[in-house]
Amino acid sequence: MLNGDDKKKLIYYTPDNLNGLIKTMNTCRSYRLCFDDLNSVDILDRSPLKTPLTKAIYPGYITELSALKRSERFFEIGPELRINELLKKGATVLPPILIRALTECGTPNVRNILTIGGLICAPKIRNSVFAALSILNAKVEIISYTTANLRFLVPIQQLFKEEGLSLLPGEMIIKIRIPYEEYDVDYYNEIQDKGTVITFVGTASTFRGTISVCKFAIGNWGDDIIREVEIENGLVEQKLPIPEKIIEGWSEKFASMFTEKYTSFSPYVQKSLINMFNEFLSRL
């Protein structure tokens, strides 16, 4: 295969399963791992190639990396599954809050190109999808070809350390795992402030007139996903419908976050998020 105008031979491997991929990566340490355009992007750091690509490993034929599977306990999503394809395959099985978040991530043309793995691994565009996966207790399965084919699961919240992706050299995500649970309430809302999209996602389950599960998160493009587990746990076992005075009390607790920890939000954003929190509680 010719490599652009340089007319150099492009040597590449196309393993058809994960074991073959790991073996090839371990044997061919000087090869670049590329998913899409073999001539332009280094998948290891998502940057343009500085030198012409002559050696590559292309895992696009590994079906496990672009599959959606469901077992009795989990949904498992391959990282190379494109967003529109994921929406099509998961329309009737995936949690509604995730479907809504995926639908909101860009135009149809963007969703035809963007993969779920690429979306969650981009430090600067963590958004409502990342927040939705967080409250769904999603984990990513990581494999390393440098440590005896080690596989391990990591909560999605731990995928980043400060501003950078926490994957080490030789590691790659091979699966996104979501526990199978049924929820009675799903809430999604968003606002824009100075070109930044800020989302509030929430989900809850009820049992015999009380809240059994309550989870919510704020997604702010480029920043950490905000979770307040103390408030979530405090709402568990609350009888329904929630009295107005109880909602007011939790609303004050929620509002105090912005003066104690999240001071970067503008007054407009703070007020909007408080209203979203109140609306979420009123739907329980």
Give the domain 63-179 fold: 3.30.465
- Quick one: what percent of the chain has pLDDT higher than 70? 86
Q: Tell me the pLDDT tens digit for each residue of 123-172.
A: 666 778 999 999 999 999 998 877 656 788 999 988 887 667 888 877 88
- Tokens representing 246 are 């109880």
Cα–Cα distance for residue pair 271/155, rounded to 1 Å: 30
Residues 204 and 214 sit within 8 Å (Cβ to Cβ): yes
Report the candidate in 224, 221, 217, 219 with the shortest Cα–Cα distance to residue 203.
217
Report the candidate in 76, 69, 68, 80 with the shortest Cα–Cα distance to residue 21.
80
Lowest mean pLDDT among 74-88, 115-129, 236-250, 263-277: 115-129
Contacts of 35 (CB under 8 A, 6+ apart): 43, 58, 59, 60, 80, 115
Looking from the CA of 248 toward its CB, the CA atoms found within 13 Å total 3
Query: Residue 141 in 3-state DSSP?
Result: strand
What is the DSSP code string of 2-55? EEGGGTEE-EEE--SSHHHHHHHHHH-TTSEE-SS-TTTEETTTTEE-SS---E
Q: What is the mean pLDDT of residues 51-70?
A: 83
Residue 198 — left, alpha, or beta (φ > 0 → left; ψ -120 to 50 → alpha)? beta
User: Residue 37 pLDDT > 80, yes or no?
Assistant: no
185-282 maps to which CATH number?
Answer: 3.30.390.50
- Residue 223 pLDDT: 64
Task: Share the mean pLDDT of the chain.
Answer: 85
Q: How many helices (H) and strands (E) does the chain have?
A: 9, 18
Give the domain ranges of the chain.
2-57, 63-179, 185-282
Query: What's the gap between Cα 173 and its chain centre?
Result: 12
- Residue 53 pLDDT: 64
